[in-house]
Amino acid sequence: MAKIAIVGAGGYVFPLRLIGDLLSHPELQSCTLALMDIDAGRLERTASAARALVAAHNLPTRIETTTEQRRALDGADYVFVTFQIGGLEAYRLDVEIPRRYGIDQTVGDTLGPGGVFRFLRSAPVFRSIAGDLREVSPHALLLNYANPMAMICWYLDRLGCNAVGLCHSIQETSRLMARQVGVPYDEVRFMAAGINHLAWFLQFRRGDEDLYPELRRVMRLRHLPQPAGQTATIAPDPEGDIYDGRRERVRTEMMESFGYFHTESSHHSSEYSPYFRKNAALVAEYLPERWDYYTICSTHDDSGWTDRLLADLTTELTPSVEYGASIVLARESGQPSLIYGNVPNRGVITNLPEGCCVEAPCHIDGLGVHPFAVGALPPQCAALDRAMIAVQELAVEAALTGNREHIHHAVMLDPLTAAVLTLPQIRAMVDEMIAAEAAWLPDFAATAG
């Protein structure tokens, strides 16, 4: 039966959730799970929970643990990557240094200075994984859950690694859209494509009914400021946690301006464009309740989460909305599946650069991952994606060549950074980040400082 390696298995909650997804399918319960993390204590926390889950359901699953990457990868059929290189210490630098220069990132893991540096810290580790796989598991499929998704998957493709990137933004956004229009989720049909965190819902239907007119109507009333003297005559957002009545103002305004709804939350996607975060007053206007993911991560108490998830999975072993387990199931069983994956653009989206990483529907079967040929995006949507792709391309080139100047180029091309800072300011910020994060940037150690 298949050997499934999880690199970064010591993370809180998600690795165990992934294990629960895999073991919820009877066809996969005889697999070997090779759990790997550089932190032996955190690794054992996940492994103990996994063993308890296997015992509770009397499964034949074999659990192995190791702190050695190559050992985990040896003979693996599938490799899941779930790590964050540098942890909270590096993440703090990703957000605090740019903030001093006026770049206020809500997450900082996808684009901008935070996304670029998170990628550059990850690149040497992915290069090591790709090298090990060539030698000990050349036919393995790497399933990446680490951010920045598009940069990492583009880089892996340039290294010749067989990989697909997985994110849950399409699953979650499509559910949000169904709730907004009051249609049961199992009745909606959609088609989305673009790049990770800025893919576009090109179709949103129920049978022959186009649901976009109703989506635009409700989103305008719920999430955009109403003209003076006029109030919205529509029920509140069914999620019930509206931020000052405008929880999705950014995405709604983007849809009004560019015609289509996209796949990342208003808080997170406000980082990828030059329109919403130029100064504190503008941020407060568009996003009246501050959402700061670094603060959430650094102050969050993770104690008990693993135990609660284990209790839930012990009671009922059911899969989540994540795509990872469904890919393994389709490959192992031959029963086809449809997922949205991050894959190389080889004829998938014709008006995005060839070879970049795109997010698109993919058919999965016993032979592999087969992206659909989507064709051209609406030109305005492709243009917005290309602005992000320019940053990704230069960051990938920096990792491939060790050229420090390309780090500057990548951040200089970032839409938000360019809207706020001058070129000399960007150079100073990038130099400060390279120096501060030098311990995680061995490719640039000779030129740091």
SS (H, E, C) 147-195: CCHHHHHHHHHHCCCCEEECCCHHHHHHHHHHHHHCCCHHHCEEEEEEE
Residue 227 is predicted with a pLDDT of: 80
Residue 285 is predicted with a pLDDT of: 92
DSSP reduced 3-state for 5: strand
Of all residues in the chain, what percent are helix, strand and coil, respectively (each to 5)?
A: 50, 15, 35
Whole-prediction pTM value? Answer: 0.95
Tell whether the torsion through CA atoms of 175, 176, 179 and 181 is positive or negative: negative
d(CA 115, CA 109) in angstroms, rounded, equals 4
DSSP reduced 3-state for 267: helix
Residue closest to 139 by CA, chosen among 367, 300, 296, 312: 367
Residue 168: active-site member: yes
First to last CA, the chain: 50
DSSP reduced 3-state for 246: coil
d(CA 281, CA 131) in angstroms, rounded, equals 48
DSSP reduced 3-state for 422: coil
How many alpha carbons fall within 13 Å on the CB side of residue 90?
22
> What's the token pair of residue 225?
């400021």
Residue 243 is predicted with a pLDDT of: 34
d(CA 344, CA 359) in angstroms, rounded, equals 9
> What's the token pair of residue 12?
């809180």
Residue 3 is predicted with a pLDDT of: 98
> What's the token pair of residue 412?
């200089």
388 CA to centre of own chain:
14
How many alpha carbons fall within 13 Å on the CB side of residue 26?
0
DSSP reduced 3-state for 66: strand
Residue closest to 95 by CA, chosen among 83, 112, 71, 119: 112
**H or E element in which residue 343 lies:** strand 337-344
DSSP reduced 3-state for 73: helix
Phi, psi of 48 (to 5 degrees): -60, -40
DSSP reduced 3-state for 204: strand
Residue 244 is predicted with a pLDDT of: 36
Residue 245 is predicted with a pLDDT of: 42
Residue 301 is predicted with a pLDDT of: 67
Torsion angle defined by CA atoms of residues 242, 237, 107 and 295, in that order, rounded to the nearest 10 degrees: 40
3-state secondary structure 275-336: CCCCCHHHHHHHCCCCCCHHHHHHHCCCCCHHHHHHHHHHHCCCCCCCCHHHHHHHHHHCCC
d(CA 121, CA 102) in angstroms, rounded, equals 23
Q: From first to last of the 449 residues of the chain, give the pLDDT tens digit.
A: 899 999 999 998 899 999 999 999 999 999 999 999 999 999 999 999 999 999 999 999 999 999 999 999 999 999 999 999 999 999 999 999 999 999 999 999 999 999 999 999 999 999 999 999 999 999 999 999 999 999 999 999 999 999 999 999 999 999 999 999 999 999 999 999 999 999 999 999 999 999 999 999 999 999 998 887 666 567 666 665 443 345 899 999 999 999 999 999 999 999 999 999 999 999 999 998 888 888 888 887 666 788 899 999 999 999 999 999 999 999 999 999 999 999 999 999 999 999 999 999 999 999 999 999 999 999 999 999 999 999 999 999 999 999 999 999 999 999 999 999 999 999 999 999 999 999 999 999 765 44
d(CA 137, CA 77) in angstroms, rounded, equals 7
Q: Which of 25, 57, 168, 370 is catalytic?
A: 168
Do residues 425 and 414 lie in contact, with contact meaning Cβ atoms separated by under 8 Å?
A: no
Tell whether the torsion through CA atoms of 19, 22, 28 and 33 is positive or negative: negative
Amino acid letter, residue 276: F
